[in-house]
Amino acid sequence: MEITFHELSVPASGHLAVMAGEDGALGASAKQIDRRASGALARALAAAGFKGKREEVRDVLAPAGGKLDRVLVVGTGKGKDFDRAAAEAFGGTVYAQLAKGTEEVCVLVDPVEGSRLKPAIAAARIAMGARLRAYRFDKYRTKEKKDAKPKLKRLKIYVADPAAAKRAFQPLSAVVDGVFFARDLVSEPANVIYPETFARQAKTLAKLGVEVEVLDERRMKTLGMGALLGVAQGSAHPPRLVVMRWRGARKRDAKPVCFIGKGVTFDTGGISIKPANNMWDMKWDMAGAGAVAGLMRALAGRKARANVIGVCAMVENMPSGTAQRPGDIVTSMSGQTIEVLNTDAEGRLILADALWYAQDRFKPRFMVNLATLTGAVIIALGHLHAGLFSNNDELSVRLTSAGKATGERLWRLPLDADYDKLIDSDAADMKNIGDGSAGSITGAQFIQRFANGVPWAHLDIAGTAWSKKDAPTVPKGATAFGVRLLDELVATHYEDA
């Protein structure tokens, strides 16, 4: 879909999308259309009980008094609430409503009364929302009917300062590219994306200036990554540790920030095997790693002025004659020993070695890991928030703020010495599960033991990595949760001025 920006005017024909605020108050452009139609637009909205609430839509076909084919009126809510997220939702809603009906849509961006969002920024965010909603993973559909596919090829956005809107959209479009990269990785089946092929995809980021290094099984053995290797030993696919480096700060040797992703490309549970029902969902147990790879693409694409490390721990967790057994004891890279009581609590094992490697080699300012770690976080928070655990209040506040700004919301949950005792083992330094209570917390407590005092946060994204229904900017399927959130964190707090 081609997106262009134009001087604000009202096209005489075609398919249009316009804004309406709370109580159905039309913007200046929509009022102009209404005058041409002798008040038909306002009458149609009133008859339909249109209130202008956020994402509320009314479709007016072939209004009288002109040559317009269609006017889609989309509610923007109260002016004071029309922020970046609302503008993105507007763009996504327009795309969802009109993509199958025409090849070209014109969007009129009027200032929303009471909003502090500049029209050019609103236009850029509308374009971003439309692109985000336009994502489709359809490469394996060979018999899809033509009518089921979107027709929309051109989105023309009319705004008072199109040049400023275009400038604002350029870095946002790079972020969308990162989101799409992550969604593609997470959407692929496990016979296509496994540790080696994930690493191969990560290497494509080199064309954007990302330095990519891949550690193989032999190298990880040399480093002593017994926790990660233990998870991988049951699979025919060997593990990989993917290390991505973006040096965008003025000082190339300045301390980096570091993001680490759990990359279990398929999780059967190992010997502690999962029930067959819905096991197919476990292709997205590498969504944390997918988000980290997507983030690195986003940062490189928009030339972020920061030094950033991305580490993806890639394994497949399979049952076989060589698989790790419940009760096995492994030695992590840190030297700490782990009694593996449940082979389905594998994500924390691979993160243990990945975090230790990252802090030991790169000495980062902080580490944030993303993982589809526990079903317990879904019980606690549903699918609206990801769980946030951290040893650092400032980092937690900044992550939460970035989540609110991007709509990728976080909720902080506790860490405590009394919870930590639940993973003490009689046979080793720790065990990989607790007593069955506070499952998300004990998982986080386990990972914290490998942060080694570095400022750290753990995002449990099990409930937010995949969606079974459409949202304005997130079609159902892989969400790429974390890409926009962490890009916002870097952009707001960790780039050169």
Q: Which residues are catalytic, by number? A: 274, 348
Bridge partners, residue 419, by sequence:
none
Closest CA to 94 of 119, 61, 71, 64: 71
Closest CA to 57 of 75, 82, 44: 75
Measured over the CA atoms of residue 430, residue 433, residue 439 and residue 444, the dihedral's sign is: positive
Taking the C-alpha atoms of residue 453 and residue 361, their distance in angstroms, rounded to an integer, is 15
* 344 phi and psi angles, rounded to 5 deg: -85, -5
Residue type, 417: A
For tokens 């014109």, name the residue.
106
Q: How many residues does the chain have?
A: 497
Residue 476 · residue 485 · CB < 8 Å: no
Residue type, 490: V
Report residue 46 as tokens.
């009133």
Residue type, 264: V
For tokens 């459409």, name the residue.
470
Taking the C-alpha atoms of residue 431 and residue 449, their distance in angstroms, rounded to an integer, is 12
Instruction: Using only the alpha carbons of the chain, give its radius of gyration.
Output: 24
* 59 phi and psi angles, rounded to 5 deg: -105, 120
Q: Which residues contact 466 (CB under 8 A, 6 or more apart)?
A: 186, 281, 284, 287, 477, 478, 479
Closest CA to 105 of 154, 158, 166: 154
- Residue 107, number of CB atoms within 10 A of its CB: 29
Report residue 361 as tokens.
């080699």
Q: Give helix 483-493 / helix 393-406 axis angle, nearest 10°.
A: 120
Q: Which residues contact 296 (CB under 8 A, 6 or more apart)?
A: 178, 202, 205, 210, 244, 246, 308, 310
Q: Where are the beta strands (DSSP E) in 99-239?
A: 104-108, 154-159, 211-215
Closest CA to 342 of 322, 320, 317: 317
